[in-house]
Amino acid sequence: MLLASALPAASDSAKQLRIGVQYGLGYLPLYVANEAGFLAKRMREQGIEPVPVEIVPFAGGPQINDGLLSGNLEIGTGGLTAMMVYCDKTRTAGDSQFLGVTALSSVPYELFTVNPSLRSLRDLDKDKDKIGVPSVKVSVPAIFLQMAAERLYGPGMHAALDEFTVSLAQPDGIISLLSGGGIVNGYLLSPPFIQQVSGKPGIHRAWSSIELFGSPATALSSWTTAKFRRDNARLFAAFVAAMKDAMALIADDPRQAAAIYIKYEKSKLAPDLIAGVLADKASLRFSLAPEQSLPIAEFLARINAIRTKPAGWKDFFFPDIHAENGS
């Protein structure tokens, strides 16, 4: 770690808290922290007057990083694998160094298909199968598929299954599967989309990332710059505390959390479906510290996606959550 753990006692400079997000149930702690008033409460406890909070949707990580570096965002969120790459690239960038603030959510990614012959990754047929992922080669499920390819075919073969992947948003992947296979005949889904297609006629599960890790692995995280943390120590601390509050509310009251998700993302999914997913800790978990991040980082180092092999998960996160139980 190049960043000192101690923070100077300074007046917070930020006049607002703009949080860049993408879409999905994994971002729920951010919505809950704002809607339930946890952010404002924790700011007051830190001795600062609450600043306006804005949750800003973005298309992807590069746009979020541009917002952080330009001062148009205070905190960004997105895929853990992308965050690791950004942290590694900015390791010696001083004020512009990126590090994780908190983990957000841990999920399995599961391959559902309408191809009755596809029962495992070994059954993939280049003449028949196209697998949808949010972004080929770089999204979390695409990286997980590369990890699976390496296990199947050996070192250096991580890209062996890339030819089967197609960049496609999860909702569009659902439409394709439910229609019998159009743009793609398979998709690496996360909750609540897994629950949405489970048991549907003609659709079955062929693979799960649980085979890689034995449990859900952190998929999403939040990050910011060294400058923001240094200049806004109390606001930074308030954000971390509010996230912990939000995760506790999700665990204690899945129905209230489901209602907040539907409000923020204008989702048409049934509240009972969302609440059921949130209550299933084997399917979706929220935690401040990451789960299973070290084997993911070691894989990224092995394929040269990051330059520095990490000693542990703390290499990618500010010291504020180092006391948490992560992996």
The b/e string for 253-272 (b: 16+ C-beta within 10 A; e otherwise) is bbebbbebbbebbebebeee
Cross-strand partners of 121: none
pLDDT digits (tens, 9 = 90+) for 108-158: 999 999 999 999 999 999 999 999 999 999 999 999 999 999 999 999 999
Percent of the chain residues past pLDDT 90, beyond the cut: 88
End-to-end CA distance of the chain: 17
Tell me phi and psi for residue 103, to 5 degrees: -75, 165
* Two structure tokens written together for 55: 């949750």
Domains of the chain as residue ranges with CATH: 17-107+217-321 (3.40.190.10), 110-213 (3.40.190.10)
94, with CB counted inside 10 A (0-12, 13-18, 19+), is exposed
pLDDT classification of 1: cutoffs 50, 70, 90? very low
Q: How far is CA 42 from the centre of its chain?
A: 24
pTM as predicted: 0.91
pLDDT classification of 37: cutoffs 50, 70, 90? very high
325 close to 106: Cβ distance less than 8 angstroms: no
Residue with tokens 């400079």: 13
